[in-house]
Amino acid sequence: MDTPLVLIDHHDGFYTLTINRPEALNALNKGVFDELEAFFKQYMGDFSVKGVIITGAGQKAFVAGADIKEFAALDTAAGSALSKRGQDVFFMMERFHAPVIAAVNGFALGGGCELAMSCHIRVAGQHAKFGQPEVNLGLVPGYGGSQRLIQLIGKGKAIEMLLTADMIGADEALRLGLVTHVVDAGMETAKAMEILQKIATKGPLAVQHSIQLVNAYFDKSVDGFEKEYKDFGKTIGSADSKEGAAAFVEKRKPVFKAQ
């Protein structure tokens, strides 16, 4: 039996997905995308899932890029299709109803940086490195990197990274806003789990709508302010909202049921 390219571990509603190609520095290939897509399709909207951590196998890399061996025979049409497929999978992650956290434990380059940026939150180990080195191959990013990098760190630094292919370390990534936490090497997953466990105490419908509202800011087809007042109405009319208010008045912890 073939070894899975994405190892899945779960406990009490928390899932850890480990990209499992350490011999290739966890490079993204068709099989990895297939297994990521299958997971997020299966659990989309399933509130038994409280959160997801994505990390890489081994000590060197989170994901060091796309598998360049798959690029050699691609023409324009096939290349565009490959890029679109990768973007579609990453959109599934970005739009997932529960928080998805990247635990970046090494190199996050090219497609790996794009994978991390598709997660809702990024935690980096002290030795993590980030970059979009596609211009070294005469390419541009294909999995949303040119757009999400600007969203996270701003136009000036994003275009410098895209044009020079320079890597940045964890501390600079924190300063720029590319990651939200830097921890000792080996503690990335533990910190990510700490964050997920805190979020899991909140109203799951409110968490879902908060993710949607942040995504709406960057969706030119959506009026984010309109969506906010509509989503406020949806959440305040929910059973979870009534439970949250009652728990506040009664000075107890709420018991949310995603209803």
Give the end-to-end CA distance of the chain in Å, rounded to a whole number: 41
Cα separation, 38 vs 32, in Å, equals 10
The three-state secondary structure class of 221 is coil
∠ Cα 179 53 140 (to 5°)? 55
Token digits for 159? 């275009």
Residues with Cβ within 8 Å of 65's Cβ and at least 6 positions away in sequence, in order, are 25, 27, 28, 109, 110, 111, 112, 133
Is 134 an active-site residue?
A: yes
> Which residue among the candidates 35, 134, 188, 243 is catalytic per the annotation?
134
The number of CA neighbours under 13 Å toward the Cβ of 48 is: 5
Is 114 an active-site residue?
A: yes
Token digits for 3? 């070894």
> Which residue among the candidates 35, 37, 114, 188 is catalytic per the annotation?
114
- Active-site amino acid positions: 114, 134
